C-alpha cells in the first residue's frame, strides 16, 4: 500500500495513457479484420497481409522511438506517437478502399510503435527506487482495464457500421497526445538523457541459448498471433453482429486481471519455465484449433478462454526466460531484440494465418488442424530444449545469481505488440541506452 501511495503525478499520467492507448487500440483490433473482410471485401489472405504490415510498422516505430526519445525527450515522442496513431485510426474511419486502408494501418502501427517503448522507458525512469515492480505491474493492470473497457464500448455503444470505432479511437489518441505534452516532464525527467553505447550487439549474438530461444520465439509468436486474425473472421460467419466479438477481449482481460497472479504463484513458479511454456503452447494451439467447431458466441468464448489460459502461462514465462538468459547490464538490449523477434513472428503469423484461412474456405478443417499441430510440435520442441545443456546451464546460473530480479512483473500487457519489458534495479543498459553512473 505504501508503494502505491508513493506513485507520483507523472507516473499516474503515464498509467492513464497506457489505459487509454489500450482502450483505443482494442476498440480497433477485434473490428479491423471484420471491416477489411466485410466492408472492403478483402480475402482472408489479404486481411492477414494488412495485419502483418501493422506488426512490421510497429517494430520500425519502436526502433525509431527509442532513439528519438533519448535525443528530444520521451514526452515529445509519446505525444508524437499518439498523434501519428490518431491519424492512422482516422484514416481507417475515412476510407473503405484497400490501398488507403493499408496506408492508414501502417501509420497507426508506426504511431503505436513510437508511443509504446517511450512510455515504458518513461515508466522505468520515473519509478522510484524499489517501486519498479509495482509500477510495471500497475502498467499491466492499466492495459488490461483499457482492453476490457474497449470490448464493452464496442458492444454497448456501437452498432451498424464499425467506422465509428476508428473515429473514437483516433479521438482517444489525440487526448493521449495532448495529455502527454501538457502533463509529462520535459526531456528525460530529472535525470540526464542517457548515452548510447556502441558494440553491444556482439555480446547478445555470442549468447547461443538466447539466440536459439529467440529464433524459436518467432514461431511461438506466429502461433500466438492466430487468435487475433482467426477469431474475428470466424465471428463474421457465426454471429449476427460480428462486432460483438470485442466482448471476448473483455473477458480475456478480466480473466488475466483476476487469475494471472494466482497462476504465476501456484503454477509457473513451481515448474521448469520451459515446461510451463510447453503447456501454454498446447493450450494456445488447442484454443485456436477449437474454433473449427465454433458455431455460437458461447463457443467462441470457450475457445478464447482456452487460449487465454495458455497466454497466461507463456507471456510471463517468455519474459522470465529472456530475463534469465540476459547478461547483467544488457537486459534492456536483450528485451529489445526479443521484441523485434516477436514482431517478426506476429507479422509472419498474420500473413500465414490469412493464407491458411483462405485455403480453409475450400478445405474447412485444414487451418485449424495446422494450428493445433503447430501447438503440439512447438510444445514438443520446447520440452526437448530442457535436455539441451547450454540452455539448461544458463538458466541454472541465472537462478543462482545473488542480484537476479526477484519480482519481475508478470501481468499481461494486453496487445502482443506491447510486450512487457521489465526493468529491474540491477541492469546498467536499457535498449541502446546506457545509464549514467552515480
Q: Domains (ranges, CATH) in the chain?
A: 2-434 (1.20.1250.20)
> Is the confidence at residue 412, as pLDDT, over 50?
no
Q: Which of 8-22, 54-68, 407-421 has the lowest mean pLDDT?
A: 407-421
Give residue 1's pLDDT band: very low, low, confident or very high (50, 70, 90): very low
Q: Cα(370)–Cα(309) distance, rounded to whole angstroms?
A: 20
Position 431 pLDDT exceeds 70 = no
User: According to the model, what pLDDT value does residue 378 have?
Assistant: 97
pLDDT of residue 54: 92
pLDDT for the residue numbered 127: 62
What pLDDT score was predicted for residue 415?
Answer: 36
- Would you state the cell numbers that stand for residue 205, as one nine-digit string? 549474438
pLDDT higher than threshold 90 for residue 325: no
**CA 40 to each of CA 48, 223, 392: distance values in angstroms, whole numbers, following the listed order:** 14, 26, 50
More confident residue, 289 or 137: 289
**259-273, 304-318, 349-363 — which is least confidently predicted?**
259-273
pLDDT bin (cut points 50, 70, 90) of residue 436 is very low
At residue 394 the predicted structure's pLDDT band, cuts being 50, 70 and 90, is confident
Q: Would the pLDDT of 433 be above 60?
A: no
Residue 435, phi then psi, degrees to nearest 5: -65, 145
Tell me how crowded residue 385 is: count the other CB atoms within 10 A of its CB. 17
Helix (H) or strand (E) holding 338: helix 331-359
As a whole-number percent, the residues of the chain with pLDDT over 70 amount to 77
Asked which of 52-56, 131-135, 211-215 is least confident by mean pLDDT, the reply is 131-135
Most confident of 135-149, 235-249, 393-407: 235-249
Q: Are 113 and 65 spatial neighbours (Cβ–Cβ below 8 Å)?
A: yes
Nearest to 308 by CA among 258, 349, 351: 258
- Band (pLDDT 50/70/90 cuts) for residue 124 is low
Residue 191 has pLDDT above 60, yes or no: no
Per-residue CA distances from 234 to 132, 231, 363 (Å)? 40, 5, 15
More confident: 189 or 284: 284
Amino acid at each position: 500500500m505504501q508503494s502505491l501511495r508513493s506513485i507520483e503525478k507523472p507516473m499516474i499520467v503515464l498509467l492513464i495513457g497506457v489505459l487509454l492507448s489500450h482502450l483505443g487500440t482494442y476498440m480497433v483490433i477485434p473490428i479491423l479484420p471484420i471491416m477489411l473482410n466485410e466492408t472492403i471485401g478483402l480475402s482472408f489472405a489479404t486481411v492477414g497481409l494488412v495485419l502483418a504490415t501493422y506488426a512490421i510498422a510497429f517494430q520500425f516505430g519502436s526502433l525509431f522511438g527509442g532513439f528519438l526519445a533519448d535525443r528530444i525527450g520521451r514526452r515529445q515522442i509519446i505525444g508524437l506517437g499518439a498523434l501519428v496513431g490518431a491519424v492512422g485510426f482516422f484514416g481507417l474511419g475515412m476510407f473503405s478502399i484497400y490501398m488507403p486502408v493499408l496506408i492508414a494501418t501502417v501509420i497507426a502501427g508506426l504511431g503505436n510503435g513510437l508511443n509504446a517503448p517511450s512510455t515504458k522507458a518513461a515508466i522505468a525512469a520515473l519509478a522510484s527506487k524499489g517501486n519498479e515492480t509495482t509500477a510495471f505491474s500497475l502498467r499491466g493492470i492499466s492495459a488490461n482495464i483499457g482492453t476490457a473497457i474497449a470490448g464493452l464500448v464496442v458492444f454497448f455503444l456501437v452498432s451498424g457500421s464499425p467506422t465509428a470505432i476508428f473515429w473514437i479511437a483516433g479521438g482517444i489518441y489525440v487526448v493521449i497526445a495532448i495529455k502527454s505534452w501538457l502533463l509529462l516532464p520535459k526531456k528525460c525527467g530529472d535525470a540526464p538523457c542517457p548515452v548510447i553505447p556502441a558494440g553491444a550487439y556482439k555480446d547478445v549474438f555470442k549468447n547461443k541459448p538466447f539466440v536459439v530461444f529467440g529464433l524459436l520465439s518467432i514461431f511461438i509468436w506466429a502461433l500466438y498471433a492466430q487468435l487475433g486474425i482467426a477469431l474475428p473472421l470466424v465471428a463474421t460467419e457465426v454471429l449476427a453482429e460480428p462486432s460483438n466479438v470485442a466482448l471476448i477481449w473483455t473477458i480475456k482481460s478480466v480473466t488475466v486481471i483476476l487469475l494471472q497472479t494466482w497462476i504465476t504463484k501456484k503454477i509457473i513458479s513451481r515448474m521448469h519455465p520451459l515446461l510451463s511454456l510447453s503447456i501454454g503452447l498446447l493450450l494456445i494451439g488447442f484454443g485456436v484449433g477449437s474454433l473449427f467447431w465454433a458455431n455460437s458466441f458461447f463457443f467462441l468464448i470457450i475457445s478464447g478462454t482456452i487460449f487465454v489460459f495458455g497466454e497466461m502461462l507463456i507471456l510471463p514465462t517468455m519474459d522470465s526466460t529472456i530475463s534469465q538468459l540476459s547478461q547483467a547490464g544488457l537486459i534492456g538490449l536483450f528485451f529489445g531484440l526479443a521484441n523485434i523477434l516477436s514482431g517478426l513472428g506476429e507479422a509472419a503469423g498474420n500473413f500465414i494465418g490469412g493464407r491458411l484461412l483462405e485455403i480453409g474456405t475450400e478445405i474447412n478443417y485444414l487451418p485449424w488442424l495446422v494450428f493445433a499441430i503447430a501447438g503440439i510440435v512447438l510444445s514438443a520442441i520446447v520440452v526437448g530444449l530442457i535436455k539441451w545443456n547450454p540452455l539448461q546451464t544458463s538458466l541454472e546460473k541465472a537462478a543462482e545469481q545473488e542480484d537476479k530480479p526477484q519480482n519481475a512483473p508478470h501481468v499481461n500487457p494486453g496487445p502482443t505488440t506491447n510486450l512487457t519489458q521489465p526493468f529491474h534495479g540491477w541492469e546498467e543498459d536499457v535498449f541502446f541506452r546506457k545509464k549514467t553512473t552515480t
